[in-house]
A and B are shown apart, each in its own frame.
Chain A
Amino acid sequence: MRKIDQTYQISKLLTRIENGEEFDVSELLVSDRQPFVMGLTGPPGTGKSTIISKLAKRLSEQKKKVAIIANDPTSKLSKGSLLGDRIRMDELWNLDNVYIRSVPSRGRKGGLNYFVVEMIYAFYMFGYSYIFVETTGVGQDEVEIADVADLVINVSVPYLGDEVQSIKAGLNEVTDIYVINKIDLGNYEIYAKYLYLAIKKNKWGWEPKIVGVSALKEKNLDELIKLIEDYRPFYRKKLKETVLRRFSFMVASRLEYIVDSKIEQTSMESLMADYIKNKSLNETIKKLISDAL
């Protein structure tokens, strides 16, 4: 089979998954062999796509098969999406062992499409064992990436708030590596000091690390790569839990997808009339859900 034909085959499978068709991952889930999933998250414009591009290129040079699932936001108004992550990954286009797929978030919380886990396993089925998942640009509260990835890389830039931001709940509690990008543009050490307040050894014994880089100027990337390698033994320790988390993400997402589809097809006027009549939201919802299933 020509390489391009296999690409075409994967591409069609991903489309079916994205459109809500069921994809059976049961055997892949229980297998001892699992993909290594790196989740990159952080505010818009911090450099997630650029960092992925650099890391993917290195992995590709080591003959690894690399897949990138790049989420971008969906418009609440039109339900269309503008997907622009590939622009930052221009250097990867001709690498035969790298596959980039842009994915609309469909407005799902966490900045991830409903079917990200199924997509991960679809890639893995085709031999892509290193997988990057990039969230849409997100802030403090979007911890869903930790349900999907083995390693959470939180990308920020210098001067993003003080130490109180670091001790808040949310993304900080699930970050494995903090990357402060664009260090060529400002003093990142003060910001790094604030971040240190968030550092706490997790239950697998990994202490989150902080590294300053400039992805565009390829500064300190070796340091980041070394941290990812240092992390590898810890990822194995928590693999069992990671698989369960992925499964829980799949379950919750499918449920949301079913409910969201149903709500979209339902007239709110008649649903509200139903609620006004029987005065119980639980009853109205029960009817809606049993109807959807």
Chain B
Amino acid sequence: MSPTKRIKVLIAKPGLDGHDRGAKVLARSLMEAGFDVIYTGIRQTPEKIVKTAIQEDVDVIGLSVLSGAHMYHFKEVMRLLKKYGIKDKLVIGGGIIPESDKKKLEKLGVAAVFGPGTDIKEIVDFIKNRVRAN
């Protein structure tokens, strides 16, 4: 079995939204793509997500929000990363997020937002390209 370094991803659901099917499918799929995936489940606070990302030294933070509260949660995660001086984490998002908000999120530093119907391969390739580039 491979002892070599693998890309490490945290998949978390901030807020009270309990729709975790997408996050679970993605966690499993990223594992099948050869990543190490930390899955922390639902009802996470931004503070908890950022602390987990630091303790686990992940390369990628993947946030899933389907409740409409994405602007608040993403903004908080980005603010905390900045506060703690963490620059080595790629933040991506998924869920039900309107096109108009995607641009705002990208301005905040979210690398990409993937909506329903996204091919998982697209996410895998995106992560591989971006993490390798770092």
Q: How many residues of B contact A (CB 8 A)?
A: 31
Assuming the A-B contacts A86-B40, A102-B38, are A80 and B55 also in contact, with contact meaning beta carbons closer than 8 angstroms in the complex? no
Residue B101 lies at the interface, judged by CB distance under 8 Å to chain A:
no
- List, in ascending order, chain A residues with CB within 8 A of B86's CB: 8
Interface residues of A in 196-247 (CB under 8 A from B): none
Residue B116 lies at the interface, judged by CB distance under 8 Å to chain A:
no
- List, in ascending order, chain B residues with CB within 8 A of A165's CB: none
- List, in ascending order, chain A residues with CB within 8 A of B55's CB: 7, 11, 99-101
Question: CA separation between A99 and B3, bound complex, in Å?
Answer: 24
Question: CA separation between A11 and B38, bound complex, in Å?
Answer: 15
Question: CA separation between A75 and B38, bound complex, in Å?
Answer: 14
- Is there contact, CB below 8 Å, between B36 and A104? yes
Closest to A20 in B: B3
Question: CA separation between A99 and B57, bound complex, in Å?
Answer: 12
Please classify how large the interface on chain A is, using the bins under 10, 10 to 19, 20 to 34, 35 or more: 35 or more
Residue A185 lies at the interface, judged by CB distance under 8 Å to chain B:
no
A182 CB to nearest chain B CB (Å):
20
- Is there contact, CB below 8 Å, between B56 and A77? no
Question: CA separation between A79 and B4, bound complex, in Å?
Answer: 9
- Is there contact, CB below 8 Å, between B28 and A82? yes
Digit string of B52-74 for contact with A (CB within 8 Å is 1, else 0)?
10111100000000000000000
A111 CB to nearest chain B CB (Å):
13
State the majority secondary structure of interface residues on B.
mixed
Interface residues of B in 33-55 (CB under 8 A from A): 33-41, 47-48, 51-52, 54-55
Digit string of A15-53 for contact with B (CB within 8 Å is 1, else 0)?
100011000000000000000000000000000000000
Pick the residue among B35, B41, B47, B57 that contacts A80 (CB under 8 A). B35
- List, in ascending order, chain B residues with CB within 8 A of A20's CB: 3-4
Closest to A15 in B: B57
Digit string of A47-89 for contact with B (CB within 8 Å is 1, else 0)?
0000000000000000000000000001111111111101100
Pick the residue among A76, A102, A257 that contacts B3 (CB under 8 A). A257
Assuming the A-B contacts A12-B57, A260-B1, are A80 and B38 also in contact, with contact meaning beta carbons closer than 8 angstroms in the complex? no
Question: CA separation between A74 and B51, bound complex, in Å?
Answer: 24
Question: CA separation between A260 and B35, bound complex, in Å?
Answer: 19
- Is there contact, CB below 8 Å, between B3 and A106? yes
Residue B107 lies at the interface, judged by CB distance under 8 Å to chain A:
no
Question: CA separation between A42 and B40, bound complex, in Å?
Answer: 22
Interface residues of B in 1-46 (CB under 8 A from A): 1-6, 27-28, 30-41
Assuming the A-B contacts A8-B54, A14-B57, A99-B55, are A80 and B33 also in contact, with contact meaning beta carbons closer than 8 angstroms in the complex? yes
B52 CB to nearest chain A CB (Å):
7
Closest to B8 in A: A15
- Is there contact, CB below 8 Å, between A83 and B37? yes
- Is there contact, CB below 8 Å, between A75 and B32? yes
The 10 closest A-B pairs by CB, nearest first: A107-B1, A80-B31, A11-B57, A82-B31, A79-B2, A80-B34, A78-B34, A15-B57, A87-B41, A19-B5
8 contacts between A and B (CB under 8 A): A4-B84, A11-B55, A14-B57, A77-B32, A79-B34, A80-B6, A82-B28, A264-B4
Task: Enumerate chain B interface residues (CB-CB to A < 8 A).
Answer: 1-6, 27-28, 30-41, 47-48, 51-52, 54-57, 84-86
Additional A-B contact list (20), CB under 8 Å, known A80-B35, A93-B51, A100-B55: A7-B51, A8-B84, A11-B56, A20-B4, A74-B1, A78-B34, A79-B2, A79-B6, A80-B6, A80-B32, A82-B37, A83-B36, A83-B39, A86-B38, A87-B39, A93-B48, A94-B48, A99-B55, A101-B55, A102-B38
